[in-house]
Structure 1
Amino acid sequence: MPGHVTSLRAYLDQGRAVPLTARVRQHAPSSTAALWQAMRAEVRGCRDVVLKDLLRPSILDQPDFATALAFLLSRKLDSDLLRKATLFGLVRDFQRARPQSVDAAAADLHAICDRDPAATDSVTPFLFFKGFHAIQCHRVAHWLWQENRRTLAHYIQSRASELFAVDIHPAARLGQRILFDHGTGIVVGETAVIEDDVALLQNVTLGGTGKEAGDRHPKVRRGALIGTGAKVLGNIEIGEGAKVGAGAIVLRPVAPFTTVVGNPARPVGERHEGLPSLTMDQSLPPVDYVI
């Protein structure tokens, strides 16, 4: 981690993957190497003979987490236009150029295991959770975008959107330990920012309000939780630890540690404590008006 970067926001503004920082409360995540060893142990314990043809090449035949991730993404993105061998080399080039991306991917996977009750092991979300896959494909596309290989970045974006029904513009900036729960229908615009520990549920849109140019998409700060089907539109800030209720239409900034619901969204209840994305608590305070 570069020593001159003193804040999460400053690091995001450089357009890089966000490192682990002392500022972010964590649940003792395993190192990438330890996570990889745990995944291999899970696979060795599998007794399903049908699954062996999937698990052995995906996990046991790979030397480390980074190579396994490149193997996975190259086979997901494979098409008649770009073959898996070419894509594997591209992902490995990205990992060598941005080694912090491998730890970020491991942190994303740990966040899923820690916060999603559907994830009872590490291998299942690694192989099958498309929200995780979409974020990792975005990291590759974002690197290509920064390297001015923008047509190829758009190819990765388009292919990932076809596969996972998650559409993230290559220029959007994402932190780590991000959870796209289910993932289906999530749209993230070009100038959007998603900081560390954020959780988005299915059908969330971080979009613009029209044809305006420039910086026009939301900035979602650390630990925010955005519920199913919510639409957050315009260059507005969703504050640290904020909670956006399912189906809300958010057109104005949301203060930190505040819950908003409705169309248009408005605050309800008292300010809460903690980061709702870490507990995935989607319950809402009483609402005293008709939406």
Structure 2
Amino acid sequence: MQTPPYLTPEALDTFIRTALAEDIGDGDHSALSAIPAEAQNRAHLLIKDEGVLAGVALAHLIFRAVDADLRIEQRLEDGARVKHGDVAFIVEGRAQSILTAERLVLNCMQRMSGIATRTAYLNSLLAGTNAKLLDTRKTTPNFRLCEKWAVLIGGGVNHRYGLFDMIILKDNHVDYAGGIRQAIAASQSYLARTGRQLPIEVETRNLSEVQQVLDAGGVTRIMLDNMSPAQLREAVALVAGRYPLEASGGITEETIAEVAATGVDYISVGALTHSIRSLDMSLKAF
């Protein structure tokens, strides 16, 4: 997997530092009071579910941030298919440090593995088509880095990371701007005026709006929002390869294969990150 631009050392450090500060505050008083400072122990990350593992690389960074002397024996990598009873890694070192890092490691890995598992499953339903599975910005505040990363581990494709790296003209933008042509023209003018080079995607609600985008031109991708498979096929025929097409809106595991078969290039599914069951796992002393 190619490292995405948002996974910088600075971004990872900021996430881990703020997450630990939220959890530890002025000290892990449970570990500090019950466990001798010099005690050395070990624990393993036990999988208690089936799915796709994600968050192992992040766990390394969290343990290192808590205590650089902790040692990890890795057994499984991100993206591995796991089952009940598998051990992802063993961590050894100061017992207090292991306990302090435990909950953040588990919170991240359980949710990331749930997202990776769901992504891999939905991706399997696209077999035989050219459609790529996209995530959205429907993420947990301050946890987007991990959720987007998990989609990649599960075999999906990241859409824009935030509001800053792509222009998407959605229905409200179009309505506020006075129409599709006006919204596109204003965005092109803004990019020229500010010297930015950003892709432009336009959300369309019907075939008439698709035609308006084609008439205006100058965009990167067209989003087809809440359209039926029949409408999607008509849109694919109308656009005829001039722009990549993204189907979006209410797509489920029951409908995704039919949507992919219409010939769209991308399918975005917000539920990849906003409606996920975490994978069950625990960090156990042994």
TM-score (ref. length: structure 2): 0.27
Structure with greater helix percent = 2
Larger Rg belongs to = 2
TM-score (ref. length: structure 1): 0.26
Q: Which has the higher contact order (CA 8 A, sep 6+)?
A: 2
Structure with greater strand percent = 2
